[in-house]
Amino acid sequence: MAAPLLEIKDLVTVFHTSKGRLPAVDGVSLTIERGQTLGLVGESGCGKSVTAMSTLRLVSSPGRIESGSITFTRDGESIDLVTAAEKQLRKVRGGRIGMIFQEPMTSLNPVFTIGNQIAEVVQLHRKVSRSEARSRALEMLRLVRVADPEQRLDAYPHQLSGGMRQRVMIAIALACEPDLIIADEPTTALDVTIQAQILELLDELQSRLGTAILLITHDLGVVAETCDDVAVMYAGRIVEQASAVELFSHPMHPYTKGLLQARPNVDARDSGPLATIPGMVPPPQDFPSGCRFHPRCSHARKPECNEESPSLREISSGHFVRCHFAEEINS
Partner 1 sequence: MSEQNHQMKPPLLHVKGLETHFPIKKGLLRRQVGSVKAVDGVTFDIPRGKTLGLVGESGCGKTTVGRSLLRLVEPTGGEVLFDKHAVRKENTRGLRSLRRRMQIVFQDPYGSLNPRMKIRSILEEGLILHRMGEERSRLKQMEQALERTGLSPTVLERYPHEFSGGQRQRIAIARALVLKPEFLVLDEPVSALDVSIQAQVINLLKELKQELGLTYLFISHDLSVVEYLADNVAVMYLGQIVESADVGQLCQQPLHPYTLALFSAVPSVEVKNRRQRIILTGDVPSPSRPPAGCRFHPRCPLAERVCREVEPPQVDLAGHRFHCHVASRELERCGGDAAETSAVMQAAITAATSGSTEPHSAV
Partner 2 sequence: MRVTEETEAAKPSRGFWSDAWQRYRRRPIGMLALCFVLFLTSVALFAPAIAGTKPVVCSYKGNLYFPCLGYFNRSWESPIFTKDKFRGTYPENLKQKDPESWAIWPLVFQDPYRRVRENEWPGRRENPSRDEGHPTRLNLFGTDQYGVDIFAKMVHGTTIALLVGFVSMGLAGSIGVLVGALGGYFGGWVDMITSRLTEIVMCIPTLVLILALIAVVEKPTIWKTMAIIGATGWTGIARLTRAEFLRLRQTEFVMAARATGAGSLRIMFRHILPNALAPVLVPITFGIASAILVEGSLSFLGFGPPPPTASWGSVLNSARSNLQLWWLVVFPGAGIFLTVLAYNLVGEGLQEATDPRLREAKK
Q: Which residues bind partner 2 (CB under 8 A)?
A: 17, 62, 276, 278-280
Q: Which does 260 bind (CB under 5 to 8 A by kind): partner 2, partner 1, none?
A: partner 1
Exposed, middle or buried, 311 (CB in 10 Å: 0-12/13-18/19+)? exposed
* Between 210 and 221, CB nearer to partner 1: 221
Is the Cβ of residue 191 or residue 327 nearer to partner 1 in the bound state? Answer: 191
Q: Facing residues of 217 across strands? A: 41
Q: How far is the CB of 100 from partner 2 (least distance, A)?
A: 24
In the sheet where 6-17 sits, what is the strand order? 20-32, 6-17, 63-74, 77-80
Residue type, 152: R
Which of partner 1, partner 2, none is residue 265 near (CB under 5 to 8 Å by kind)? partner 1
34, 37, 43, 46: CA torsion to nearest 10? -10
Q: Cα separation of 29 and 32, whole Å? A: 10
Q: Name the residue among 139, 142, 147, 145 with its Cα closest to residue 197.
A: 145
Question: Smaller CB distance to partner 2: residue 63 or 104?
Answer: 63
What minimum distance in Å lies between the beta carbon of 186 and partner 1? Answer: 13
Binding partner selected for residue 62 from partner 2, partner 1, none, CB under the kind-specific 5 to 8 Å limit: partner 2
Q: How far apart are CA 116 and CA 250, in angstroms?
A: 47
Q: Name the residue nearer to partner 1 (CB basis): 85 or 266.
A: 266
Whole-number minimum distance, CB 276 to partner 2, in Å?
Answer: 7
Q: How far is the CB of 16 from partner 2 (least distance, A)?
A: 11
User: Residue 17: which of partner 1, partner 2, none does it interact with, CB under 5 to 8 A by kind?
Assistant: partner 2
Q: Which is nearer to partner 2, 278 or 303 (CB)?
A: 278
Task: Tell me the helices (H) and strands (E) count for the chain, helix number first.
Answer: 12, 12
Q: For residue 155, which of 111, 193, 121 has the smallest C-alpha distance?
A: 111
State which residue, 17 or 109, has the beta carbon closest to partner 2.
Answer: 17
| Shortest distance in whole angstroms from residue 278 CB to partner 2 | 5
Amino acid at 142: R
Residues found in the chain: 331
Between CA 272 and CA 274 the distance in angstroms is 7
Partner touching 103 among partner 2, partner 1, none, CB below 5 to 8 Å by kind = none
CA angle 27, 29, 30 (to 5 degrees): 150
Question: Residue 3 gets which letter from DSSP?
Answer: P
219 binds, among partner 2, partner 1, none (CB under 5 to 8 A by kind): partner 1
Whose CA is closest to 47, among 240, 325, 302, 283? 283
Report d(CA 213, CA 181) in Å as an integer: 5
Whether 116 contacts 110, CB under 8 Å: no
Measured from the CB of residue 322, what is the shortest distance to partner 2 in angstroms?
A: 25
Contacts to partner 1 by CB under 8 A: 43-44, 147, 161, 163-164, 191-197, 199-200, 203-204, 218-222, 224-228, 243-245, 248, 258-260, 262-266, 268-269, 273-278, 280-281
Judged by beta carbon distances under 5 to 8 A according to partner kind, the member of partner 1, partner 2, none in contact with residue 193 is partner 1
Minimum Å gap between C-beta 79 and partner 1 is: 32
Closer to partner 1 by Cβ: residue 51 or 55: 51
Q: Which among partner 1, partner 2, none contacts residue 76 (Cβ within 5 to 8 A by kind)?
A: none
Compare residues 110 and 279 and give the one whose CB is closer to partner 2: 279
Minimum distance, C-beta of residue 108 to partner 2, in the bound complex (Å): 21
Q: How far apart (Å, rounded) are the C-alpha atoms in residues 209 and 296?
A: 43
Classify 292 as helix, strand or coil: coil
